[in-house]
């Protein structure tokens, strides 16, 4: 007997840790096998950042049942991964932190799951925390279900209390916790079996795409109807095709199912099973694979539209080509369009300039992960300041995306946070006292009001605040929003920075570089202490003479520079600036490198 479930939750509520424990307790690993923590987070970026970016498939055997499990991302920027995965499953495990309760992404993924009619199982996780309040969180989850207009059956969802880290779950807090048997038993009882029409004509909806260096593209999805075997003829029905377009014939070359963390090759599979299929050329997410005699198309996968865009440009700095293997506009364009094959929430457009491409996504993190992945692959490019995507309504009014922001901060910083978000057109919707001297603030704010705010937020709350946000709705354009109030220090020459020059520039602002760094004219080397940009010479050395000065033995003491990474640089730059990204460096620069070109562009603007 089969069960297909997805694990959904807000970021850092314990999804991947719970899957780890389910795999261990079901006997997926040998007794003496060394297994890393969060084994499902196999991508290097996922392990570095401690977040799930890509959904993963696994399965466990429990008694006579096979349970297919899909681990999904928790960050709202990767909601496109969640939306398509939910079409493959028949139930969801909704994890909620026993202290934080339902958060922005909890609302987002729950709304998607309930709208598809999926049966939820609620797991209140981390009940072993000293500050946990499972009774309050239980009520908050029920309130969320009612807000989202859940059906009577969905409202009657079973609740369990768990510690994913310790590997146990109970149906009642008074029970003695032992292991995850109560959770796995609830999955078998509450989640319905998948479609089992094995006699009908074959039909599969492609929910995700993988790539094998030997087999090419792999179409992954759930068989909705019928059976399929290696060597069978199938037709590909493009979700964008019209009634007059002919189905594309193909043949199944290889077929795989999921056992534990591995793909196991098989000769045939039937309705309800999650499979990976090789041999279907040109397959895309949302396409239908069907029997040639009955080419019935399934409803495609609806993914919410992007809200943020940036320009990817060919790197034109004096250091272009030093690090990267792929530096041309053709290589950059091919890589960006190739990303569309598996990243359904992304959009790529050509522009009138052959060296510039507009890329749109669900947020700064969504786009930042793509940039980081590309630089690790050897690409070299520059990107512009992020900007929000706008639209117009029926009355011709300009609309922009708004975000719901939930902030948990110590009481002493409440006023500072309200003032900071208020300057960025944030509207305080709700404020309530939390546990442990924390206050919870809920804001409605234009998405562009959050650009560059995270660093200010961490400074204002001395690192003690926690902020989460998600797309809320489209609302009226609110006009200009103040961002960076200070100018930048711009290198006026090509050369190498020296300690003597940097020491004498410390009073003029905050430096981004240390001695011994190669710089070029137009590169940003620091933040000016005042409004307006300042051109500086960071390569100026001390003149050597035979005259002894009073300051000859002066110690050069430099303050540590402020490090500008990829995401912090994206948040920081202004409209006339770019982030230069190479495999070994991230630099900030002016769009126009020469001073007279910048003055001319400013006059034109």
pLDDT digits (tens, 9 = 90+) for 267-286: 998 888 888 888 887 777 77
* Contact indicator for 583, 604 with CB cutoff of 8 Å: no
Q: Which residue has the higher pLDDT, 391 or 56?
A: 391
What pLDDT does 52 receive? Answer: 44
pLDDT score for 53:
46
Q: What confidence category does residue 60 fall into, taking pLDDT thresholds of 50, 70 and 90?
A: confident
What distance in Å separates the CA atoms of residue 561 and residue 512, rounded to the nearest whole number? 5
| Arithmetic mean of pLDDT, 405-414 | 87
The CA radius of gyration of the chain, in Å to the nearest whole number, is: 27
The answer to whether 380 and 324 have CB atoms below 8 angstroms apart is: yes
Q: Is the pLDDT of residue 310 over 90?
A: yes
Query: What is the largest distance, in Å, between two alpha-carbon atoms of the chain?
Result: 99
442 within 8 A of 405, measured Cβ to Cβ:
yes
Domain boundaries, the chain: 2-190, 203-290, 391-476, 488-542+554-573+587-604
The pLDDT value given to residue 443: 92
Residue for token digits 């020459």?
493
The predicted structure's pLDDT at residue 50: 46
Is the overall model pTM greater than 0.85, yes or no?
A: no
Report residue 349's pLDDT band, with 50, 70 and 90 as the boundaries: very high
Q: State the average pLDDT for the chain.
A: 83
Q: Where are the beta strands (DSSP E) in 341-380?
A: 347-350, 356-361
Tell me: pLDDT of 315 over 90.
yes
pLDDT for position 545: 60
Give me the residue label for tokens 């007794």: 31
Confidence of residue 317 (pLDDT cuts 50, 70, 90): very high
Tell me what pLDDT residue 520 has. Answer: 94
Bridge partners of 260?
59
- Whether 54 shows a pLDDT value over 80: the answer reads no
Closest by Cα among 563, 472, 556 to 525 = 563
Please state which of the four CATH numbers 3.40.1620.10, 2.40.50.250, 1.10.760.10, 3.50.50.60 is assigned to the domain occupying 488-542+554-573+587-604: 2.40.50.250
Distance CA 467, CA 76 (A): 13
State the CATH class of domain 2-190: alpha beta
Q: Which pLDDT does position 31 carry in this prediction?
A: 46
SS3 category, 289: strand
Q: Give the contacts of 310 (CB within 8 A, at least 6 positions apart).
A: 358, 359, 367, 383, 384, 385, 386, 387, 570
Render pLDDT for 73-94 as a digit per residue (tens, 0 to 9). 655 545 556 767 788 888 888 9
| Stretch 237-261: mean pLDDT | 77
| Fold designation for 391-476 | Alpha-Beta Plaits (3.30.70)
Q: pLDDT band at 34, cuts 50/70/90?
A: very low
Is the domain 203-290 a CATH 2.40.30.10 member?
yes
């Amino acid at each position: 007997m089969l069960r297909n479930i997805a694990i959904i939750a807000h970021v850092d509520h314990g999804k991947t840790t719970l899957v780890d424990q389910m795999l261990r307790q079901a006997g997926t690993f040998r007794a003496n096998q060394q297994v890393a923590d969060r084994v499902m987070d196999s991508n290097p970026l996922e392990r570095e950042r401690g977040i799930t970016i890509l959904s993963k498939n696994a399965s466990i055997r429990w008694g006579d049942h096979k349970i297919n499990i899909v681990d999904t991302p928790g960050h709202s920027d990767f909601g496109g991964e969640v939306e398509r995965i939910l079409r493959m499953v028949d139930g969801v495990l909704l994890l909620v932190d026993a202290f934080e309760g339902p958060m922005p992404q909890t609302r987002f993924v729950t709304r998607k799951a309930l709208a598809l009619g999926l049966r939820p199982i609620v797991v209140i996780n981390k009940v072993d925390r000293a500050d946990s309040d499972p009774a309050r969180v239980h009520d908050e989850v029920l309130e969320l279900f009612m807000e989202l207009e859940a059906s009577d059956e969905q409202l009657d969802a079973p609740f369990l209390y768990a510690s994913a880290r310790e590997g146990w779950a109970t149906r009642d807090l008074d029970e003695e916790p032992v292991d995850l048997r109560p959770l796995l038993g609830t999955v078998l009882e509450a989640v319905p079996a998948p479609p089992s029409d094995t006699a009908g004509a074959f039909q599969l909806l492609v929910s995700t795409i993988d790539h094998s260096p030997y087999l090419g593209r792999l179409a992954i999805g759930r068989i909705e109807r019928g059976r399929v075997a290696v060597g069978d003829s199938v037709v590909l029905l493009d979700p964008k095709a019209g009634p007059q377009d002919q189905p594309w014939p193909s043949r199944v070359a290889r077929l795989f199912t999921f056992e534990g963390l591995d793909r196991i090759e098989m000769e045939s599979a039937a309705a309800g099973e999650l499979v990976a299929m090789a041999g279907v050329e040109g397959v895309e997410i949302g396409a239908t694979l069907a029997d040639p005699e009955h080419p019935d198309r399934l409803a495609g996968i609806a993914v919410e539209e992007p809200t943020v865009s940036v320009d990817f440009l060919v790197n034109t700095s004096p250091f272009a080509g030093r690090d990267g293997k792929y530096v041309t506009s053709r290589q950059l364009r091919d890589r960006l369009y190739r990303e569309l094959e598996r990243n359904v929430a992304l959009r790529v457009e050509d522009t009138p300039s052959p060296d510039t491409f507009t890329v749109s996504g669900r947020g700064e993190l969504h786009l930042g992960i793509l940039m980081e992945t590309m630089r690790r692959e050897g690409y070299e490019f520059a990107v512009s300041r992020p900007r929000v995507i706008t639209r117009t309504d029926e009355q011709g009014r300009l609309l922009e995306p708004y975000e719901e922001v939930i902030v948990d901060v110590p009481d002493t910083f409440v006023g500072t946070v309200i003032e900071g978000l208020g300057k960025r057109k944030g509207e305080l919707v709700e404020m309530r006292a939390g546990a442990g001297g924390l206050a919870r603030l809920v804001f409605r704010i234009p998405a562009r009001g959050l650009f560059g705010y995270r660093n200010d937020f961490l400074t204002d709350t001395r690192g003690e605040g926690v902020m989460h946000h998600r797309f809320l709705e489209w609302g009226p354009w609110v006009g200009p929003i103040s961002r960076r109030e200070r100018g930048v220090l711009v290198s006026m020459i090509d050369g190498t920075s020296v300690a003597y020059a940097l020491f004498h520039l410390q009073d003029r602002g905050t430096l981004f570089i240390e001695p011994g760094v190669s710089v070029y004219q137009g590169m940003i080397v620091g933040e000016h202490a005042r409004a307006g940009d300042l051109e500086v010479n960071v390569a100026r050395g001390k003149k050597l003479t035979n005259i002894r000065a009073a300051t000859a033995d002066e110690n050069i003491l430099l303050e540590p520079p402020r490090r500008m990474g990829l995401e912090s640089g994206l948040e920081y730059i202004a409209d006339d600036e770019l982030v230069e990204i190479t495999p070994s460096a991230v630099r900030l620069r002016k769009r126009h490198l020469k001073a007279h070109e910048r003055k001319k562009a400013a006059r034109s603007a």
